[in-house]
Chains A and B, each alone.
Chain A
Amino acid sequence: MLSFILNNTIFFAIGAVVMVIPGVVIMYFLDKKRETSFLEYGIFAIGVSFSLALFQAIFLDVLGIAINILSLSILYGIWVSIFVFLIRKKTFFQKKETRSLSLIFILIFALLLLLKGMYFSQNAIPISTDLGHHMYWSNFIVEKGELPQYQEKEILMAPSDSQAHIISQPFGISDLIEGEHIVFAFIALLSQVSLISSAPLFLLFFIHIVTALGVYAFTRRIFTPSPWREKIALGAFVVFGFLFGIDSPQMRYIIGGVVGNTFGSFFIVSIFLGLFVAVVKKNPRFMALSLFFMLTLAYTHHLSMLLFGLSLLGVGLLLFVIEGKYFWREILPLLYSRYVLGVLLFGLITFFFLWTPAYILNSGVETIVADSEQKAEHSGITLQEYMQVLGSERVLFGLFGFLLMVGILLRGKISKMKKQKEIEPFLSHILLVGWFFPLGGIVFFPEIFHISLPTIRIANYTIIPLCISASFFFFWLVDHLVKQSHNKGILIGTLSLLVIIFLSIGWKDNVSFFEKKGYAQARELHRMASYMGEHYRESEKTVMYDHINITGGSWIKLYFMRDYNYPFYRAHLFRYDRISDKQERCTLDVFTYPETPEAEKCFKDLGVELLALNEVKDGKKFRENDNFVKVYTGNELSLYKKIISEE
């Protein structure tokens, strides 16, 4: 117990050192006038820390310095020293005390943490497939001390019976990027905590909480001119973080190890927040900060970057349509600053000359934008499906909110803004509508945009503007009801009913996800994987596992660290029918038809000796086959070994 507490204390302390401290140091110099609120400051600091981890890793690798405990200790030792120096200065906390967070916010935040924390503690187990894939690369950095070239090998089928199936040379993978893996590796290296644990999930959970705080801070900032700003911000915080707070893309994504989307959402909020602060405070430093975050996002998740780019385009176009002069007058001068140009130059050199992401080198974006094979899950969804995915009340209120904002903007364009020459009270609407509509367009009509991506995944990116819009509409409705109602009893009754319906549906959705723990399953998987790695990591014999019936099988590769695609695995059956997907059949044949000559050829040519499978689902055909022996068995999983005939 004591060592468990000690290890976790070290892990959290190192997590804070990597994820917070460098950013606090940079923000101290960047925001000397303290133009940001306490929460904004913290959110930017975490974004900066993440970005610095990424670029430090790139520079270490480019300079040929090993990424190991020594190099990182020196780097972070410097950051901590500067931090300690700064915090000892009395000016670190503002001299002039300004009130910041309210008690109601703290209570909502505590409830949110309680809800999410309870779900997290039940499910924080290293068994999700996605996280297993990502942790392979983080572990690669830990073990090799360098950034990975994203490559994998695959089985190549023999063109004729007289030739042998072979394993290919490594070839590039386009959909993986450094930013998804570096912070995990840094924390693992410095804390010496294994990545085969719940540690990576804690980091994702942390980023998710910070994103929820970001939604609150962002809403509060963009509705600054409104007297309802605190209420709208609290509402958005509740709708985003608390109601439907377990379902995808929230805690279920965290537990599911959806790294790119989690990091992407955080950076999208941070970038928009930075841009907004830059514009309203007329401070180019925040414009540069946003640009720096965009660069980080480009190194972290190309889907998020692409969708963010479309949203930014939407915001820009809407601003042009509503009041084009504002862009030339207020925003363009911010771009012509040494800070922005400096970051731009840094970004261009790094991106194109020092370390170009794999999706650029391997044309990953082209695959997204023009995929010849249109898949069913890429073809758009109906409004009903959309409501089901994101929560019906949330969607309904959110969509009404957007319609309301469009109405306000149209009315403002015709009358008010022309007279006042004042657009800032409407910037929040422009930002939210411009952010949402391009994404909504792809969700409902992907064919117009020629983008081939799973629609549900894109739908999840609309959640932040949607939640803010839902809160905006809710309080607009309350405001109107209050103003127009003459009977207080009916008013209070109507509002209470509205709140109860909203809260109860969102809460019911949360409760439905508190399910059976998977610890036993995870422990069994990792014990078997450890056994496999212990005996076959260096073996010339080939190992395969069944991805269909072994939950979290991707974690097995961390016990081998031989290749991203090793051990080879039987994939979901539909993948063998897709032209651009699984082009070999050996992994299918050895598990599905092990007695056939085709499977026998695979066993022989590829030297397949060990098969990991689900005993309950697939054990029978191997038990009844004299060519296999069982060398390992547990509650669900077994290892069968092929008897190699001496010919």
Chain B
Amino acid sequence: MISLSHTFSQKQATFIVIGLIFVSFWIAVLGEWFSLHTPTQGSWEIAFIEPQDDTSLDFCIFNASKKNIFSYTIIQESSVVEKGEIEVDFNEKKEIFFEEKKFFEKGGEGIYRIEIEDASGKRRDIYRYVML
């Protein structure tokens, strides 16, 4: 039986030490991969596609939680000018474009708020002052 004081040759030791480091690195890499590919509850973001363009309401959703159906509502002052739903997969970025004129005619200049709700009822909003 091999004893704890058994020693390896230099060649064997080289391969064992390098091998152990290599294996531990790959374990860490796989751990990282699984973490990156595991959805996180409530991890999603919304943003205006063009933050510097105050005439546009186009927005995007990035979803890092499970595949989700997001409902969105565009509100100008207190009136709803647009509603819709969109399905976004895990780790997917989806862009939603509008033909602005459609609801600018309904609402005109002012604060436009885009409210988003995910399937679990979690809500977030972005808003901007639209100058025509």
Binding site for B on A (CB under 8 A): 1, 4, 8, 12, 38-39, 42, 93-94, 97-104, 106-107, 109-110, 113-114, 116-118, 120-122, 124, 198, 202, 205-206, 209, 213, 517, 519-520, 523-524, 527-528, 531, 535-536, 539, 541, 609-610, 629-635, 639, 641, 643
Distance between Cα atoms of A93 and B8 in the complex (Å): 14
Q: How far is the CB of B114 from chain A (nearest CB, A)?
A: 10
Which of A4, A100, A120 interacts with B28 by CB under 8 Å?
Answer: A120
Please list the 4 inter-chain residue pairs (A to B) with the smallest Cβ-Cβ separation, ordered nearest first.
A121-B31, A634-B45, A99-B7, A632-B47
Q: Assess the A98–B24 pair: CB atoms within 8 A.
A: no
How would residues 92 to 132 of chain B score, 1 for a CB under 8 Å from any chain A CB and 0 otherwise?
00000000000000000001000000000000111111000
- CB-nearest residue of chain B to A531: B47
Cross-chain contact of A38 among B14, B31, B33, B51 (Cβ < 8 A)? B14
Contact of B5 among A104, A110, A524 (CB under 8 A): A104
Q: Is the CB of A101 within 8 A of B13?
A: yes
Q: Across the interface, do B124 and A121 meet the contact criterion of CB distance under 8 Å? A: no
Instruction: For B43, give the chain A residue with the smallest CB separation.
Output: A520
Contacts of A634 in B (CB 8 A): 43-46, 124
Chain B nearest Cβ from A635, distance in angstroms: 6
- Which residues 40-77 of B have a CB within 8 angstroms of A? 40, 42-48, 50-52, 62, 64
Q: Does B86 contact A (CB under 8 A)?
A: no
Assembled-state Cα–Cα distance A104/B6 (Å)? 8
Q: How many interface residues does chain B have, given as a range?
A: 35 or more
Asked if B79 lies at the interface with its beta carbon under 8 angstroms from chain A, I say no
Docked complex Cα distance between A536 and B44 (Å): 22
What separation, in Å, do the CA atoms of A539 and B53 have in the docked complex? 13
**Besides the contacts A39-B13, A103-B5, A635-B45, what 5 more A-B pairs have beta carbons closer than 8 Å?**
A102-B8, A114-B24, A213-B17, A524-B43, A635-B42
A121's closest neighbor in chain B, by CB?
A: B31
Taking a contact as CB atoms closer than 8 A, the residue among B10, B22, B33, B46 that contacts A4 in the complex is B33
A121/B20 in contact, CB under 8 A: no
Nearest neighbor of B45 in chain A, beta-carbon distance? A634
Q: In the complex, which residue of chain A has the Cβ closest to the Cβ of B6? A: A103
Write out the residue numbers on chain B whose beta carbons fall within 8 Å of the beta carbon of A99.
7-9
Task: List residues of chain B with CB within 8 A of the CB of A113.
Answer: 20-21, 23-24
Task: Name the B residues within 8 Å of A114 (CB-CB).
Answer: 24
* Contact assessment for A100 and B10 in the assembled complex, using a CB-CB cutoff below 8 Å: yes
Question: Which of A98, A121, A632 makes the CB contact (< 8 A) with B51?
Answer: A632
CB distance from B26 to the nearest CB of A (A): 8
Q: Compute how far the CA of A432 lies from the CA of B57 in the bound complex, rounded to whole angstroms.
A: 68
Q: Contact check, A632 vs B6: say whether CB atoms are below 8 A apart.
A: no
- Chain B residues with Cβ below 8 Å from A107 are 4
Interface string of B19-40 (1 = CB under 8 A from A): 0111111111111110110001
The listed residue (B5, B24, B40, B48) touching A520 by CB distance below 8 A is B40
Chain A contacts for B47, CB-based, 8 A:
531, 631-633, 639
Interchain CA distance A205-B31 in the complex, whole Å:
15
Q: Which residue of B lies closest to A98 (CB)?
A: B10
A122/B31 contact (C-beta < 8 A), A635-B43, A641-B128 known: yes
A-B contact pairs, 24 of them (CB 8 A): A1-B33, A12-B22, A39-B17, A94-B10, A97-B11, A98-B9, A98-B10, A99-B7, A99-B8, A103-B2, A104-B5, A113-B23, A117-B25, A121-B30, A524-B45, A524-B64, A527-B62, A531-B47, A539-B52, A609-B52, A629-B111, A630-B126, A631-B48, A634-B44
**Taking each of A97, A113, A528, which has the highest tally of chain B beta carbons within 10 Å of its own beta carbon?**
A113
A117 and B10 in contact (CB under 8 A), knowing A104-B4, A519-B35, A519-B40?
Answer: no
Question: Judging by beta carbons under 8 Å apart, are B45 and A527 in contact?
Answer: yes
Residues of B within 8 A of A523 (CB): 36, 40, 43, 64
Chain B hits for A205, CB < 8 A: 25, 28
A124 touching B20, Cβ below 8 Å: no
Hey, which chain B residues are within 8 Å of A120, CB to CB? 28, 31
**B16: which A residues are within 8 A, CB to CB?**
101, 106
Asked if residues A631 and B13 are in contact (CB atoms below 8 Å), the reply is no
B78 beta carbon closer than 8 Å to chain A: no
Question: With a CB–CB cut-off of 8 A, which chain B residues contact A103?
Answer: 2-8
In the complex, chain B residues whose CB is within 8 Å of the CB of A93: 10-11, 14
Q: Is the CB of B126 within 8 A of A109?
A: no
Determine the chain B residues whose CB is within 8 A of the CB of A106 once the complex forms: 8, 16-17, 20
| Docked pose: A101 CA to B19 CA in angstroms | 14
List residues of chain B with CB within 8 A of the CB of A98: 9-10
Alpha-carbon separation in the docked complex, A633 to B25 (Å):
35
* Chain A minimum-CB-distance residue to B39: A520
Q: Is B127 a contact of A630 with CB atoms below 8 Å?
A: yes
Please give me the residue from chain B that is nearest to A643 by CB atom. B129
| Contact in complex: A631, B51 (CB < 8 Å) | yes
In the assembled complex, the Cα of A101 lies from the Cα of B127 at a distance in Å of 65
List A contacts of B40 (CB < 8 A): 519-520, 523
